[in-house]
Amino acid sequence: MASGLFKKVLIANRGEIALRVICACKDLGIQTVAVYSEADRHSLPVRFADQAICIGPARSARSYLDIPSIISAAEITNVDAIHPGYGFLSENAGFAEVCRVSGIKFIGPDPEVISSMGIKERARAIMKEHGVPILPGSEGVLSSAEEAIGTANRIGYPVILKASAGGGGRGMRVCNSAEELPNLLAQAQNEAGAAFSSADVYLEKYIRAPRHIEFQLLADEHGNVEILGERECSIQRRHQKLLEESPSPALRAEVRKRVETKLKDAIKAIGYSNAGTVEFLMDEKGDLFFIEVNARIQVEHPVTEMVTGVDLVKAQIRIAAGEKLPEILGGKVERRGHAIECRINAENPENFQPSPGRITGFNLPGGIGIRVDTHAHQDGVIPPYYDSLVAKLIAHGRDRDEAIQRMKRALDLFVVEGIHTSIPLHKRILNEKDFVDGNFDTNFITRWT
């Protein structure tokens, strides 16, 4: 191991991703500090970390989002670095900046990069500049209804108005004609101003039935960038992904190659470092268009790990310690077979309502080609305060059919009693002809529920 590697890392997160980061640290011989809210006192990350510190009450605003509490815990335990996981403070440029001035390495991109990728209209302009395809739309932020109508008339309806500081589906308006544009623009601007740091709104061509495809990348702090293929994330409901896979059954090899080449240049030019995901929409023709950058490790990262054999969390830590990507990856990254992830949520499959509570019966599947990332266990409690993810079930096979078959077998052996879960929903998806045929878009779940 490189001599400059961290001695101790604090994990500013909870649940399965906290445990996932602890595992990566153990593999690297790094000590770990868990921070937890009062609701997570008996959780597995607390049990398996070398040290654990309570940072506040259940409510996230006073624990997992409380920057002073987390920094205090980091200083008391004398850690070298903080891994933010996903959600919570993972894309908070202010937190990354506080880490920097406190002399603690933030395991993620620099605050300046997080901040510029968080301005969607700017990220869009940067990608365009480097030849990454974007949808036709406004040049930057809209300054008037007249300008919006001019742009929309030029590119044709429908168009979509998006909050520049938004993302993940918040602050968007679809517009079908010039008549309704002024009102929708005002609504979008008001909503953006109230919900985000800025009322800026931009406009682009609306795709009615897109597929959602995203590319995983790793970039070191020396200008080396590697693209680790794509994930198909179209199976979602209300912007919550349910099932992800790699490779996408719809992406043509020639489109993949072209986009990966351009992306590599853009990411280098941005000065991006650490792990990241670049989201695209695919239109009916099979072409890809950039939408946004996620400057964090994502929930669905295991499908990429199964196909490439690269431990992405370990890579994140080594990158943050200043190591070079060619050493971390050790040669050409091959892409082998097909992987699928099912998100097992604590929710009622009838109405998708959260179903927190105590797990009274539990059996984990295993066997060839199966991986489970979870913090759940027999007699464990899924608290009501956070997201409802109970486990991620990942199946790998030589091809998509084998991955689907292994996933079905694992779902049959996966028992969670005491709470409702999305296991029955996943069984239904995997038996649907259109899913098996790879024939679906982001409206798949809406169509049959």
* Residues acting as catalytic residues: 296
Q: Which is nearer to ligand MV4, 233 or 270 (CB)?
A: 233
Answer yes or no whether residue 290 interacts with ligand MV4 by CB under 6 A.
no
Answer yes or no whether residue 167 interacts with ligand MV4 by CB under 6 A.
yes
Answer yes or no whether residue 142 interacts with ligand MV4 by CB under 6 A.
no
Residue with tokens 């996408």: 248
Among 212, 231, 264, 371, binds ligand MV4 (CB under 6 A): 212
Among 236, 316, 374, 422, binds ligand MV4 (CB under 6 A): 236
Answer yes or no whether residue 204 interacts with ligand MV4 by CB under 6 A.
yes
Taking each helix axis as running N to C, give the angle between helix 301-308 and helix 312-320, from 0 to 180 degrees, rounded to the nearest 10.
Answer: 100
The stretches of 130-211 forming alpha helices (DSSP H) are 145-155, 181-195
Mask: binding to ligand MV4, 36-55, rule CB under 6 A, as x and -? Answer: --------------------
Residues in the chain: 449
CB 296 within 8 A of CB 118: no
Among 37, 274, 374, 442, binds ligand MV4 (CB under 6 A): 442
The per-residue DSSP string of 185-206 comes to HHHHHHHHHHHSS---EEEEEP
Answer yes or no whether residue 169 interacts with ligand MV4 by CB under 6 A.
yes
Q: Which is nearer to ligand MV4, 166 or 365 (CB)?
A: 166
Bridge partners of 56? 37
Own/partner pairs, 429-435, CB within 8 angstroms, 24+ separation: 429/235, 429/242, 429/243, 430/404, 435/235
Q: Closest Cα to residue 294, out of 275, 320, 310, 269? A: 275
User: DSSP code of 7?
Assistant: S
Mask: binding to ligand MV4, 245-284, rule CB under 6 A, as x and -? Answer: ------------------------------------x---
Among 36, 206, 215, 435, binds ligand MV4 (CB under 6 A): 206
Answer yes or no whether residue 156 interacts with ligand MV4 by CB under 6 A.
no
- Which residues contact ligand MV4 (rule: CB under 6 A)? 135, 160, 167-169, 204-207, 210, 212, 236, 239, 281, 291-292, 442
